[in-house]
Structure 1
């Protein structure tokens, strides 16, 4: 590792700081994801169709915006505070302000002005969030070049979202509603709390996380050729593998999650037991956090993802043909499969960092911002695509949305077939892409990092 002068060695402080960074991003982004559309429809009284169009347009723009911000980050020279940390430190402030402004009650404005206010605050927030999230995601690639430490960072990053979702799922519904009705002022109050806590977490990240891997500066006068970098990225097999693996896996998981309520409500006939599944998911997440790094260290990141997610896909392929009618047994089997597939979510960030190094290995240049933001583009594209797919599935199987309607036996059986079939196809295709496209096995990753160390050392001594 090429260490900067007077920078302490990698330690638990870095891991906790990186966890807090993800938690800080989740405080604003996930709060908005969970409650902004509810606020728009129930408080601002905007047509849900208009809300859907607004979110689709802005999410597509947000995805396109990621590589642009990544290119700008890459084109800037590192300052005394590092290359990425100053972006997080500066832009986390206006990001927090825009999160709060998104929940201001403007229902007294006429309909057109309401839509304009929503659009402006949404677009501005997403642009500022990208200015924080792209540098934050890229930060781990320069905190360490040790493969085990990078796996640890990816693992600890997953804790941020888990902590937020655990708290918000319990607190949100209890705080935001009175007598089953939304209270506008409470949405704004909780937005303020989330924004301030998120800002605090991100500022701690800027202090506790250190950039240690020297990023080669672009030669004086040489400008970043954005189109050329994108062309080079298109030949980066590691990045292509992790992007399409993540894209397919996210879409499959999102559709399955969208069908979850209908599976328990209509197939098992017991919606309350879904709460048991939700509570156990926290336990599963803790177990996944504990076992992922030892398994990844033993087998390799690619190898463990293929084995674990492949096992889960096979189990659901069997369940497609052999339906279960006992919800408790299903919850147990689903939990075991979750542990197998969890490596896909926990290790993906470490594989993105390896893809950044792979890009340097093949091109001789580091373009962390563009490489990471290109991956982020595909994640947001998957989010935009998958958001409504579960609704399309329900429509295709003839689900009756009439209040109090009892679904036909054919529809009920189709819910099971859709749930298990999409799980099998989604995770199976994701594993196939990772296995055949992503080139970095455990052995090749170690060889790549060693080669890069030699190259960086020779450049320093030249």
Structure 2
């Protein structure tokens, strides 16, 4: 196994060895990301529909269009990151230092408390502009951050520790936002749960402040040790040609789209499920905690599962199991929210296992890319994966807003609209059958992923030989 050097070859600088500081610093990166993502990705549809009173179909179209546009920004940022000039502070860390200002600020602006008093046209314009700004801010942060894992160290074992640290960091802040935000933004008016514009604004300020502080920790504690000047200026046509040869990446991207769609729709559907069907805000807080909490619970077992069965094999089995359990939950039609939560915790494990391993999947596809193209393009590979996730988020926004309208949900600026029994039951079906179909589809797609355990082990040896010959 090749150990990461403590010399930056192109700059001639000596750096400290890889240590716990890098793991903590990298964990704080996604800890910070998910303070903001936990607020926006889970609650923005609820905010637009129930606070701003925007029609669900329009909200779905807005989210879809904005995400499609921003998905291409990810590719652009990934390319810029790969071609960025090497500096003493690294290639990717400067992005984090600069991008944090706009990213944190735009999240606060999205939830300005007086917007719901404006005419509907201006509410819609404001929602579109700020949401596009949010997506651009996220791209300039997440693509360099995700690509930085390969620059911190070249040791694959240390890659795994960084990936685990990232997953734990995201689970902590994602779980806390899911648990506490519903308790803060909702209040009871005439016996119904009503979202407050001012409370959303205060929550946005707190989340942005925590994220800003966390990004500073990431910048201070991480060190980029592996810095290599690009061998050539890769044209766009060459990039597309290389991507087309990377079958592992293309299949992973498709599967990842389904997983992201499920993750976002689960947060949205569960919010309506527990506030409208179960009418239990406390259970909602725990349900949103499960979405991230299962990742933290499964983290200690990820390495063993990968070594024993393989990433592909483990993920497929988990996804099919979860899909089947969601069907059982729908047929049971639980009326007790606490019984439902027990089944839900187990069901979320399928997507949780995949989310825990996805960064390792991406690392494998980057190695595969080097084998089939002869080029190392970590920023581009990560940018393309982020591109796919944005497409998934766009699809989720389109489905989330449109499905609410299709099942007959009545939008309201005060949250006081009374839903019919038929609509309430449809919300229950939506919260269970949608993830069942999506997770099963992702499992089927992964059946065609070429890198099983045996192939991955063979590829790792080949990469080691390639890097040894080039050093």
TM-score (norm 2): 0.81
Equivalent residue number for residue 434 of structure 1: 446
Q: 2: CA distance between counterparts of 1:114 and 1:276?
A: 32
Equivalent residue number for residue 332 of structure 1: 342
Equivalent residue number for residue 403 of structure 1: 418
Q: 2: CA distance between counterparts of 1:218 and 1:258?
A: 42
Q: 2: CA distance between counterparts of 1:185 and 1:323?
A: 39
Equivalent residue number for residue 444 of structure 1: 455
Residues 117-137 of structure 1 deviation map (CA, whole Å, 9 limit, x = unaligned): 554444334323211110011
**Aligned in 2, Cα 1:176/1:432: closer, same or farther, shift over 3 Å?**
closer
Q: 1: CA distance between counterparts of 2:119 and 2:340?
A: 49
**Aligned in 2, Cα 1:241/1:43: closer, same or farther, shift over 3 Å?**
closer
> Higher mean Cα deviation, 150-159 or 15-24?
150-159
Residues 336-373 of structure 1 deviation map (CA, whole Å, 9 limit, x = unaligned): 33334421111112211221121112111111222111
Q: 1: CA distance between counterparts of 2:252 and 2:126?
A: 37
Residues 40-70 of structure 1 deviation map (CA, whole Å, 9 limit, x = unaligned): 6677676666555443332221112111111
Residues 434-455 of structure 1 deviation map (CA, whole Å, 9 limit, x = unaligned): 122x222233333323322332
The equivalent position to 1:63 in structure 2, one of 71, 76, 79, is 71
Equivalent residue number for residue 287 of structure 1: 297
Shift of 1:390: 5.0
The equivalent position to 1:201 in structure 2, one of 197, 211, 214, is 214
- 2:88 is the alignment partner of 1:73: no
Shift of 1:236: 0.7
The equivalent position to 1:8 in structure 2, one of 16, 22, 29, is 16
> Higher mean Cα deviation, 132-141 or 36-45?
36-45
> Higher mean Cα deviation, 127-136 or 23-32?
23-32
Shift of 1:26: 2.1
Q: 2: CA distance between counterparts of 1:310 and 1:118?
A: 37
**Aligned in 2, Cα 1:141/1:392: closer, same or farther, shift over 3 Å?**
same
Equivalent residue number for residue 246 of structure 1: 256
Equivalent residue number for residue 124 of structure 1: 133
The equivalent position to 1:137 in structure 2, one of 146, 167, 170, is 146
- 2:434 is the alignment partner of 1:425: no
Equivalent residue number for residue 385 of structure 2: 375
**Aligned in 2, Cα 1:106/1:337: closer, same or farther, shift over 3 Å?**
closer
User: What SS is found at the alignment partner of 1:443?
Assistant: helix
Shift of 1:82: 1.8
> Higher mean Cα deviation, 368-377 or 268-277?
268-277
**Aligned in 2, Cα 1:310/1:269: closer, same or farther, shift over 3 Å?**
same
User: What SS is found at the alignment partner of 1:445?
Assistant: helix
Equivalent residue number for residue 11 of structure 2: none
- 2:234 is the alignment partner of 1:232: no
Shift of 1:379: 0.9
CA contact (8 A) 1:18 1:156 kept: yes
Q: 1: CA distance between counterparts of 2:152 and 2:101?
A: 23
Q: 2: CA distance between counterparts of 1:421 and 1:110?
A: 37
How many pairs were matched up?
A: 452
Shift of 1:85: 1.5
> Higher mean Cα deviation, 98-107 or 242-251?
98-107
Equivalent residue number for residue 454 of structure 1: 465
**Aligned in 2, Cα 1:290/1:88: closer, same or farther, shift over 3 Å?**
same
Residues 189-211 of structure 1 deviation map (CA, whole Å, 9 limit, x = unaligned): 44333323212211211222233
CA contact (8 A) 1:140 1:353 kept: no
User: What SS is found at the alignment partner of 1:380?
Assistant: helix
- 2:96 is the alignment partner of 1:84: no
Shift of 1:27: 2.6
> Higher mean Cα deviation, 392-401 or 353-362?
392-401
> Higher mean Cα deviation, 120-129 or 394-403?
394-403
Structure 2 runs not aligned, ≥5 long: 8-13, 412-416
Shift of 1:155: 2.6
> Higher mean Cα deviation, 419-428 or 349-358?
419-428
Structure 1 runs not aligned, ≥5 long: none
User: What SS is found at the alignment partner of 1:205?
Assistant: helix
**Aligned in 2, Cα 1:149/1:431: closer, same or farther, shift over 3 Å?**
farther
User: What SS is found at the alignment partner of 2:450?
Assistant: coil
Q: 2: CA distance between counterparts of 1:118 and 1:276?
A: 29
Shift of 1:97: 3.0
Q: 2: CA distance between counterparts of 1:435 and 1:209?
A: 36
